[in-house]
Structure 1
Amino acid sequence: MRIVIIEDEIKAAKSLAGLIAKIRPEATVETMLHSIEQAVEYLNSNPPPDLLFMDVQLSDGLCFEIFRQVNISSPVIFCTAFGEYSMDAIKSNGVDYLLKPFSVNDLEAAFAKMDNLRNFFQQKEKSDWMELIKRLDKPEGKTSFLIFHNNKYITVRTEQIAYIYIKYDAPYLVTFQQQKYIISQTLEQLQAQLSPIQFYRLNRQYLINFDAIREVEHYSGRKLAIQLAVPTEEQLTVGKDKMTHFLQWMENR
């Protein structure tokens, strides 16, 4: 198996190559590229690899720019610290989406998923794998959370959650009925479990439900102001760097 790593942090790229060598010793990491420019030049000049590992945020922009300049046929495993790009990843040959920092088990699971998909495509007719692609393109996410509250266990349905936010380093679920529950998971873990179609990571503190959005308007300094149907403790905004991505998320449903 021929593998290419696209990762702007050299230390992270070498670490990933080391993990791959342990998990798949028969694989060969052909090269490690560190920017969109390098990736475009290499992929346009060499045979497509069997697998691409690709960081989302590179030194000169988002990796999805590579797909606009190169016809990529190789499967891609995306590696990133940000969960909000998962839908773009799925639409860009993505077979898995690993949130940093990921473990050896996460990487093994990604390889197993790729193997299963390859076997599936080899054994099934086109009508079968097209249905699989549709399912992958619309991840449903977790449907409920078990919460320990006032010495009782209760279930909160995902559609009841208006938003999740961090306060004093603790994540809280806030429902449309304005009930607030503390939960013993990180915001990154919660984001990974929720449907990226339905929930969006605005910033380091807030993860919001599309159905909770009441109004979006332009704000000072080329920002968007977000008003939810449920009150928040602070004004929610989207900076100019994420404005286009946020609006695309709202539109592509």
Structure 2
Amino acid sequence: MKILVIEDEIKTAKALIKLISTIDPDAEITGPLQTVSAAIENLSAPPSPDLIFMDIQLADGSCFEIFKEATVTAPVIFCTAYDEYAIEAFKANGIDYILKPFTEETLTAAFKKVAGLRRSLAQQDVNPIYPLPLQQGKKSFLVFRDNKYVVIAVENIAFFYIKNDFPALVTFDAKEYTLNQSLDTISAQLPQEQFYRINRQYLINFNAVHEVEHYFGRKLLVHLKTATPEKIIIGKNKATEFLHWLDNR
């Protein structure tokens, strides 16, 4: 795999390259490139790298200037000390967003994500790496309430959640129905581009998301268009993945 490293801090770049070489000894590593201009020049000429590790703030400006001047076809793993650029990063070929100081564990997880996406897209015969193909899923749920069976279309469901140890669905007009399937089973039946498993308690519809705000300890607070019984909080370890899900449309 041909890997390009774009990082203006030499000490950090050396540490990153060393970790990459440990994880993938056969990798052909180019760089580090320290500036936006050097990166544009490199990416404007063939051959294109297979993967790019990129810092957000470079010596002569923001890395996002690179995408305005050069055609970047390779997936990008952003390595930065700041978490506020996650949404913009995923709009720019980003497949992972690693906060410094990174470790062998975080880089290994990023490489596994790259490998998994490549396998998935190879099976689907999709190119380039984005956008991901939409998945098909269950269209409706049959529920029982007030001695009546009712069919609820998936598109009308704002979220699922665990209530008194049992899963329930809540529609956009705030009607609630108890289900007899586990939340794990429900999640597996739904298209992943439309529904996201926030935590053990909540599974939400993309169309139900009203806004997302930063919360304590690098967590995210999610507000839905339909009221929830409690706050929906995403832990810092899942925050980047959630933002990626929101942006991958």
TM-score, structure 2 length as denominator? 0.57
Aligned in 2, Cα 1:16/1:190: closer, same or farther, shift over 3 Å?
A: same
Aligned to 2:78: 78
Deviations 1:82-115 (A, max 9, x none): 2222222222222221122222111111111111
Gaps spanning 5+ residues in structure 1: where?
146-154, 199-248
Q: Which structure is larger by alpha-carbon Rg, 1 or 2?
A: 2
For the residues of structure 2 that align with 1:54 and 1:171, how far apart are their CA atoms?
Answer: 21
Residues 4 and 53, structure 2, Cα contact 8 Å, conserved in 1: yes
What is the Cα deviation at residue 140 of structure 1?
A: 7.2
In the TM superposition, residue 65 of structure 1 has moved relative to its aligned partner by 0.8
- 1:37 deviates by 1.0
Specify the alignment match of 2:69 in structure 1: 69
CA RMSD of aligned residues (A): 4.1
Contact 1:55 1:63 in 2 (8 A): yes
Question: Residues of 2 paired with 1:118 and 1:88: CA distance?
Answer: 22
2: CA distance, partners of 1:130 / 1:162: 24
Q: Contact 2:6/2:32 (CA < 8 Å) preserved in 1?
A: yes
What corresponds to 1:24 in structure 2? Answer: 24
Q: Show the counterpart of 2:198.
A: 143
In the alignment, structure 1 residue 35 sits paired with structure 2 residue 35 = yes
Which residue matches 2:58? 58
CA deviation digits over 1:161-207, x for unaligned, max 9? 985555xxx78999999xxx9x9x9x955754654788xxxxxxxxx
Equivalenced residue count is: 183
Q: Which moved more, 1:70-79 or 1:13-22?
A: 70-79
- Read off the aligned partner of 2:40 and give its amino acid letter: V
Q: Deviations over 1:132-175 (max 9, x none)?
A: 3568x979776358xxxxxxxxx799989985555xxx789999
Q: Which amino acid aligns with 2:99?
A: L
**Percentage identity across paired residues of the two chains:** 38
Letter in 2 for 1:72: V
- Could you tell me which residue of structure 2 aligns to residue 94 of structure 1? 94
Structure 1 residues 197, 5: closer, same or farther in 2, change over 3 A? same
Q: With CA pairs under 8 Å and 6+ residues apart, which has the higher RCO, 1 or 2? A: 2
Q: Secondary structure at the match of 1:45?
A: coil
User: What TM-score, normalized by structure 1, do the two folds share?
Assistant: 0.56
Distance change in 2, residues 1:96/1:25 (3 Å): same
Larger deviation, residues 115-124 vs 8-17: 115-124
**Contact preservation (8 Å) 1:84, 1:196:** no
> Pairwise mapping of residues 39-188 of structure 1 onto structure 2 (< 5 A)?
39-126=39-126, 132=132, 143-144=198-199
- Corresponding residue number in structure 1 for 2:8: 8
Q: Cα gap change, 1:142/1:86 in structure 2, threshold over 3 Å: closer, same or farther? A: farther
Partner Cα separation in structure 1 for residue 9 and residue 134 of structure 2: 33
For the 8 Å contact 1:3–1:29, the answer to whether it is kept is: yes
Greater share of residues in helix: 1
| Greater displacement, 36-45 / 4-13 | 36-45
Q: Distance between the aligned counterparts of 1:75 and 1:12, measured in 2?
A: 21
SS at match of 2:101: coil
- Please show how residues 190-229 of structure 1 align to structure 2 within 5 Å: 191-192=239-240, 195=243
Instruction: Supply the AA of the counterpart residue of 1:61.
Output: G
Contact 1:140 1:195 in 2 (8 A): no
